[in-house]
Amino acid sequence: MPLAVGTDAPAFTVKDTNGNTVSLSDFAGKTVVLYFYPKDDTPGCTKQACSFRDAQEQYQGKDIVVLGVSADDEVSHQAFTQKFNLNFPLLADTNKTLIQTYDVDGGGYAKRVTYVIDPNGKIVHVDANVNTSNHASDILAALGL
């Protein structure tokens, strides 16, 4: 069962697509869309990532950071990012620490769940029924944007 709205978002530090160390605290003062997905370069995950890619300008204009998370490694994330021209970081949770901490473990992969974390680090929205084609616009709508 996903973490509840109102919960403090668990802190994390992992590597991103390019091998940079990324922590939740890096985004203090911004809204963070932390979306978990099962696997790079699969049909549903590609639709979901491309929905965020295509809406990135809307997100940036609202001071919102989008971070995708799966258990894939940096090399897989780099290939996925290049193939689909993704314009936001993917986080490599190869040891599944984030997947477990955010309670989205699907048995070896991440369940498709999205958390919206407010600028103060609180979870303000959880989407566990993701429509991969419209996910980015669904999150904007849930935020009233």
User: Mapping DSSP to helix (H, G, I), strand (E, B) and coil, where does residue 15 land?
Assistant: strand
- The SS3 assignment for 68 reads strand
Cα–Cα distance list, 15 to 6, 43, 56 (Å)? 27, 24, 21
Contact assessment for residue 95 and residue 23, using Cβ atoms and an 8 Å cutoff: no
What one-letter code names the amino acid at 132?
A: T
- Please confirm, yes or no, whether 45 is among the known catalytic residues: yes
**What's the rounded Cα separation, in Å, for the pair 15 and 17?**
7
- Residue found by looking up tokens 């994390």 in the block: 12
Catalytic residue among 14, 34, 45, 55: 45
State how beta strands 123-127 and 31-36 pair.
unpaired
The residues assigned a catalytic role are 45
